[in-house]
Structure 1
Amino acid sequence: MLTLFSRDHFTTLLDALTLTAADERPAIIFVATDREPEVISRGCFLRRISDRADALRGLGLRPRDLVVIAHDHSLESIYSFWAALLVGAIPSMFPTLTEKLDAAVYMSSVAELVRLSGVAAVLTSDDFAPALRGRVPCPVYGAAMLSSVPDEQPSSWAIASPPVPEEIAFLQHSSGTTGLQKGVALSHTAVLNQLAAYSDAIALREDDVVVSWLPLYHDMGLIAGFLLPLVQGIPLVLMSPFDWVSHPALLLRAIHDHGGTLCWLPNFAYNHCARRIRRRDSDGLSAATMRLFINCSEPVSDDSHHLFLERFAANGVRPEMLGVSYAMAENTFAVTQTTPGRPAPTDIIDGRRLQDAHYAQPVADTHADAQIRVSCGRSIAGTEVRLIGEGGHSIPDRQVGEIAIRSDCLLTGYYHRPDLQPFDGEGWYLTGDMGYQAEGELFIVGRRKDLIINAGKNVYPADIEAILNEIPGVHPGRAVAFGVFDAREGTELIAVVAEVAPADEAERHAIGRAIRQEVARQMMVTVSYVHLVGPKWLLKTSSGKIARDANRAKWLKEVAP
């Protein structure tokens, strides 16, 4: 396996262990609610990506061409990704149009970004190809054009132009309303360094089984839930995120049926599983094989962990299974990871002092302003973390500052964006995330750009949103808070938009009152604007996160007084 000890034996991603033997060991097991699992052996996987690589060559794709893959979550997107690597092209997973995205905005943004990035071709589903074909300035190919070779026929496993380790392997894209805001260019070397270090951090074993529903255009899904198992030659049990959202018990069933041991989840998924999986759908299912559920990509809530533990204790979920990682596309994936086999450490601090003085003062859990923060762990090998204060200098433990990272798995740069320089003069990448360190553990507080300064107080929207998600009547995960400057008051006022179930005027008034009261009680700040909306009003990014800036702009345009 790829570890820090064996790192020198791997040169590029095409050295992936899944590609080293055309045998019957499972590479991918695709599960769904409406059909039997589809088992893709290593031999089948090799044949299918070889066939598609032949098709790409026949369509004129050349080494170093940028290829966008815009499929629904399916095996076809996986085959296309590896086929592009085999051709020597640069693949980039890309979200297709869903009901979360505005069709007109999506199409125009994609067309502009495809033009600016010099995309050579877009690979997509047969259904979506006609709509996209007339909107982008490059060829668009449906799946049928890449899968015309019968699966039984032998095909060539040949690398026409072996990649250079320091060349760009693929692009990840930062979260945005289309998912193509900034192309994070990652070299083969950077990705392999990340996979080696992170595998060591989670104590990866040859008998591990990864279970994932995560979208492949997001770093958590692409790296942890896709590349890691295929490079390491361990089985990947995969499902559609749309299927999982509608039928969350599918995840527990997959773990039970296939002996899952590793699963990465954003924080909201813990609540979604605990609240949406019916007892009758989880009875008899065991998660006892699991080593780690890893919370990543969102602010981590101690309450979410406890909710998940209480709900699934009968299914074998234990506190030591719940880990946490801090990750970002610019570092390929993980920056930190908690220790496997131990519950994620927590820190009880004075929430008001954190807000007023940017300092995480430890307090007893009985303190009036006690707030529980969950650690994201320690830096993985090859990655350094420092906290930077206002003057650009390192700050001591427990002081809140901006997180900066320096590593051997950082991005090469932003693809075709010379105007964006990601590093300072010493090779540090400023993340824009705010946090603090305590006894070697990293704790995330929020995003610098999202900070609300209300009457001299620094307020993190994520803290308000955590409160909103617990208020009866508000759809969990469907609320946003942001600041609105008020010239008369000379400060930012706090606005909240929350999706609620259909309700009469009295019920809506009660929900609004509860929002104001709970935020004031828990954070000692006043919410000036509360706007309650119906389902699907809020805009989300391609990775499923609430798009705070976009929703602020929508509110200002449609609602603001």
Structure 2
Amino acid sequence: MAAPGAVVGLLHQSGPALVLDWLAALAAGFKPLMMQYPTKKQSFQYWSESVSNTMALAEVSLLLVDTHCGGLLENSSVSTLCIPDPGIDHQTAAPIEVIEQFSILQLSSGTTGHRKAMEFTSQNLHKHVHDYNEDLRLMPESDVIVSWLPLYHDMGYVACFVMPLLLKIPVVMMDPMIWVANPVMLFDAIENHHGTICYMPNFGYEIMSKATPRNLPSMKRWVSCSEPVSPETCRKFVAHLNIPETLISPCYAMAENIFAVALGRGISTLKIGATEVISCGPTISGVKIKLVDGEVYVKSPTSLINYVGTSDIRDEDGYYPTGDLGVMQSGQVYITGRKGDLLIQAGKKFMLSDIDLAVNRLDPSIKGRSAAIQIPDPRLGTQKACILVEDSRFFQKSNGKELAEGIKDILGLEQVEVRHVPPRFLTKTSSGKFNRKKCAQHWLQVEQARAQASAENGGDATEELRKTFPSVDWDLPCVEVLDSLSITVLRLIISDANIAFHREWSLNRYVQALGKEGKTRDDDHSQQEFRIVSLADSGVIKSITEAHLEELSRRLGLRVTFEHVCLPPSPIILSDLIFQEYFMPRANSEHFSVINRHLNKLRNASVIVVDDTAELFYPPTQVYTVLSHNFERDAKADLVTTRWQRYPENHHLLPLTIASGCDIPFNHYNNTQSLLSEYLNTPIFRICQIPEFSEFTGDWDYKIETGKETLRGDLSVDPDVFVDHIESLLKRQGQSVRRFPISQRNQLDVVDLAHYCSHYASKESIDKLISTYSRFCIVGKTASAPYIRKKIELENKSYIYAPSYAPEVIGPLKDQFDCALSVGAMGGFKVDVPIAGIMRTGSRWNTLNLSDPNLANLKYSETAGASPPSGSDWFYDFKPERRATLSKVKVARENRNDYTRELKVKRELEKKMRDEAKAVNQLKRAARLAK
């Protein structure tokens, strides 16, 4: 699979198996390359692109992966060997032979793009370790390194793995994900193993400053490295542990020099401008530094000559550019930021890292959730700062103005924007730093997608004003609320709309002027319409006719349209809407076309209608696929079945996570509907009819009342009352209700499926079925349970697709298959072919004509209780109340069934009485005729 000397990539979770694979690759004559392991904190899309880029640049010939990564890299072009954890017996572990000559590869940090690969020989490593240890003075007999750092980053790889191996220093390792969940285990490990040295990035010291302090007398050094070292964090940490400042060792290091460049001792700082910068100490033995226009250049006996696959990166004196900015004073190295983080605005220079620090000081609660980026301002031909802040309620945030003004006061910036974005929007590198370049690219893609949508709708100068000035007071004169740079931008916008500039006008005054010019709205109501979009069960709104819509149109003076759309419940659909706006622009895939078409119906609605049947009654028994905000596809998504809804048609091609309806608490829906309404700026009209949910629906807009006997849960609105309610709602909302240009759509469109239906299929039962037969007919959509198709192909068996299990459709095909698998729900049709209902929505039957009775008795559609837990990479983060939810819907379902039985008996009795009366009347009539 790979020849000696080839590069072998390692993708394992931290553990003994990773160490053994690395050593085995080295012993076999390969060049091992530790590659970054996927985490939920990093976009799967970015991870996948990064891995592909690394494999191409480093010319990786073979991948050694664990089971998890094996599933993620099924389509890799590189040979992949999946090696499960061998389960090391530490009592019988034996030392390996010393390997004298070898080469390893390691990766750069990736803060300015994808990580690059570098090769170092064993001689390079021995030399660097010797020079670095002249300052550290580690001794095999007395020192122990304790580390939670991942081995795919240079600090964990070199300082806590390769260097200890070469120096024969014991290392205590732990998985970083396990440490994050329980940080105090680091103190436990130091205490139990008498640790003497620990390496962490700055954020690690922040986390440990919150852990219960411990007396750790064995510790000699706490090295802070791999990200900017904060003097404030260092002081907080030493105070928390009550240790001398001399135990803190700020370190300047990079993979391009194998690891260390400079190493300090204690907390010594220098004030550079408005920023306090910590000393990283003098350079280690053999390392030289020079500054070129403020950028740090480095040269040493082991420093990089070129990245793998690229030319020499050094200058004529043998120094390579680091991309870092810094100063040297009294032989000490002070790093002030990254060259790529330099913002130039109207000729003034600002560091994005300084903006980050200012944000953290102004609002400590968002630390770790915000990143300052620079984006071009094409109107002014300069750059502007934009601060992206992740927040779960990003569209409700209104403190952008206050934060922006505070940053201007601290740093003197003329123009700065604050934008709140959903969780997981910001892209991080493998070391946990924000990749500003990627973050800026993704934000610009969002802005471009919005601009394109606006252009497709005819453009809107008012919308551009709102986007440009989201945080200022729109009622005050512009000269009082806008600086000179912002006024210049304002003048450019209004000049494009043929509006003259007036210094004393407010932004609202400009909007009024734009309206008069016809730029923002059409005052001719005869050319506008209200659009009602219903997500309710179609049975609830079946009584509404075009005549009712005509009456509503007459009352409102605008055309009113009504469309029923079959979509998942509000928690799922809100998460997908957020994905569409903030994450989809970076994907650039045609596979989202169906999703876009349906979500845009909600975005272009004047009113959205929901009901308790589709929102509360059905979801607890179902499992949903949700567009993954992490761009990862959960393998369980391949087992989710759907009916013939249009919305999930391409779901087999999309990144999806899993959400169980029974994990969404009933009391969560009201909040979700409010969020959905606020996010779309569209009122939601809520209809209820199921008594068992009254504690959650007591304040809903319309409770269906009826005086005639009918099934509870199967009622329909009184259309006249519905019209009254909608008229009242629209008039209350006034001008805030969105109007749209007259469309060619039908005034009434209710042809979609009654409600959204998706279940979780049993993998074990499907496997038994596929192992029994050889030819299959899959009845349903391609996106429904794609696992079935993959499994059949894996078994080298054949299959065809059919759109329906109706006898007239599937009957003519029966010579082409041995068993039909219905993945689009099962109903009441009786067929004479072997068929299994993988998705069963009715209780009549789930299999017919299967030759093996054991197969006929299997459950192919899992119950809600057996469904997978909610995914972790969608918009919601709530505490499941599965038992309470299932209990509530069980009562509602049982009551509905009891009522159905009672009504059935009563109607049968009534029919019997009518039949008897009819027979009596016939006898009387016969008697009269006989006379």
Q: TM-score range by the shorter chain?
A: 0.7 to 0.9
Contact 1:108 1:135 in 2 (8 A): no
What residue number does 1:333 align with?
A: 259
Q: Deviations over 1:67-118 (max 9, x none)?
A: 0001112221111112211112100001122223333453355345424533
In 2: Cα distance, 1:442 partner to 1:286 partner:
31
What residue number does 2:115 align with?
A: 181
In the alignment, structure 2 segments of 5+ residues that lack a partner are 449-466, 468-931
Q: How does 1:221-236 map to 2 (within 5 A)?
A: 221-236=156-171
What residue number does 2:77 align with?
A: 137
Q: Among residues 194, 218, 233, which one is paired with 2:128 in the alignment? A: 194
Q: Among residues 210, 219, 223, which one is paired with 1:290 in the alignment? A: 219
Q: Deviations over 1:190-235 (max 9, x none)?
A: 1111111111112223311111111111111101111122221121
- Cα 1:302–1:120 change in 2 (3 A) is same
Q: Among residues 332, 341, 348, which one is paired with 1:457 in the alignment? A: 348
SS of 1:77's partner is helix
SS of 2:369's partner is strand
Q: Among residues 293, 302, 305, which one is paired with 1:409 in the alignment? A: 302
Superposition deviation, residue 509 in structure 1: 1.9
SS of 1:141's partner is strand
Question: Is the aligned partner of 1:308 residue 2:237?
Answer: yes
Q: How does 1:48-59 map to 2 (within 5 A)?
A: none
What residue number does 1:117 align with?
A: 58
Superposition deviation, residue 380 in structure 1: 0.5
Question: Is the aligned partner of 1:324 residue 2:250?
Answer: yes
In 2: Cα distance, 1:542 partner to 1:156 partner:
31
Superposition deviation, residue 312 in structure 1: 2.2
In 1: Cα distance, 2:204 partner to 2:328 partner:
26
Q: TM-score, normalising length from structure 2? A: 0.46
In 2: Cα distance, 1:153 partner to 1:78 partner:
16
Larger Rg: 2
Q: TM-score, normalising length from structure 1? A: 0.74
SS of 1:99's partner is coil
- Cα 1:138–1:488 change in 2 (3 A) is closer
- Cα 1:484–1:111 change in 2 (3 A) is closer
Q: Among residues 246, 250, 263, which one is paired with 2:185 in the alignment? A: 250
Superposition deviation, residue 154 in structure 1: 9.5
Kindly tell me the number of residue pairs found equivalent between the two proteins.
Answer: 448
Superposition deviation, residue 348 in structure 1: 2.7
Q: Among residues 259, 263, 279, which one is paired with 1:375 in the alignment? A: 279
Superposition deviation, residue 479 in structure 1: 1.4
What residue number does 2:331 align with?
A: 440
In 2: Cα distance, 1:551 partner to 1:478 partner:
12
In 1: Cα distance, 2:5 partner to 2:126 partner:
19
SS of 2:303's partner is coil
What residue number does 1:384 align with?
A: 288
In 2: Cα distance, 1:156 partner to 1:547 partner:
40
Superposition deviation, residue 180 in structure 1: 6.1
In 2: Cα distance, 1:490 partner to 1:140 partner:
48
Superposition deviation, residue 150 in structure 1: 8.7
User: Relative contact order: is structure 1 or structure 2 higher (C-alpha 8 Å, sep ≥ 6)?
Assistant: 1
In 2: Cα distance, 1:95 partner to 1:130 partner:
16
In 2: Cα distance, 1:178 partner to 1:243 partner:
28
Q: Among residues 296, 306, 317, which one is paired with 1:426 in the alignment? A: 317
In 2: Cα distance, 1:106 partner to 1:66 partner:
20
- Cα 1:329–1:209 change in 2 (3 A) is same
Q: Deviations over 1:293-352 (max 9, x none)?
A: 111111111111122122222xxx32111111100101000000014xxx132113433x
What residue number does 2:37 align with?
A: 96
SS of 1:413's partner is coil
- Cα 1:454–1:122 change in 2 (3 A) is same
Superposition deviation, residue 244 in structure 1: 1.6
What residue number does 2:422 align with?
A: 534
Q: Deviations over 1:131-178 (max 9, x none)?
A: 31x32222211223x84999899999568xx664xx6x1111123389
What residue number does 2:774 align with?
A: none
Q: How does 1:194-213 map to 2 (within 5 A)?
A: 194-206=128-140, 207-213=142-148
Superposition deviation, residue 490 in structure 1: 3.3
Contact 1:115 1:136 in 2 (8 A): no
Q: Among residues 403, 409, 412, which one is paired with 1:524 in the alignment? A: 412
What residue number does 1:509 align with?
A: 398
Superposition deviation, residue 481 in structure 1: 0.8
Name the aligned partner's letter for residue 260 of structure 2.
A
Superposition deviation, residue 443 in structure 1: 0.4
In 1: Cα distance, 2:126 partner to 2:82 partner:
31
In 2: Cα distance, 1:435 partner to 1:544 partner:
22
What residue number does 1:106 align with?
A: 47
- Cα 1:490–1:181 change in 2 (3 A) is same
In 1: Cα distance, 2:161 partner to 2:185 partner:
18
Superposition deviation, residue 543 in structure 1: 1.7
Name the aligned partner's letter for residue 230 of structure 2.
S
In 1: Cα distance, 2:348 partner to 2:35 partner:
39
Name the aligned partner's letter for residue 484 of structure 1.
I
In 2: Cα distance, 1:455 partner to 1:177 partner:
26
SS of 2:443's partner is helix
In 2: Cα distance, 1:147 partner to 1:387 partner:
50
* Further displaced range: 255-264 or 96-105: 96-105
Q: How does 1:41-52 map to 2 (within 5 A)?
A: none
In 1: Cα distance, 2:132 partner to 2:190 partner:
22
- Cα 1:294–1:62 change in 2 (3 A) is same
In 1: Cα distance, 2:401 partner to 2:238 partner:
31
* Further displaced range: 172-181 or 463-472: 172-181
- Cα 1:152–1:249 change in 2 (3 A) is closer
Percentage identity across paired residues of the two chains: 30
SS of 1:78's partner is helix
Name the aligned partner's letter for residue 325 of structure 1.
C
Name the aligned partner's letter for residue 552 of structure 1.
A
Question: Is the aligned partner of 1:262 residue 2:197?
Answer: yes
In 1: Cα distance, 2:238 partner to 2:335 partner:
22
SS of 1:414's partner is coil
Contact 1:403 1:434 in 2 (8 A): yes
Superposition deviation, residue 471 in structure 1: 3.6
Contact 1:212 1:221 in 2 (8 A): yes
Superposition deviation, residue 375 in structure 1: 0.5
SS of 2:367's partner is strand
Name the aligned partner's letter for residue 106 of structure 1.
W
- Cα 1:482–1:235 change in 2 (3 A) is same
In 2: Cα distance, 1:234 partner to 1:153 partner:
20
What residue number does 1:82 align with?
A: 23
Higher helix share: 2
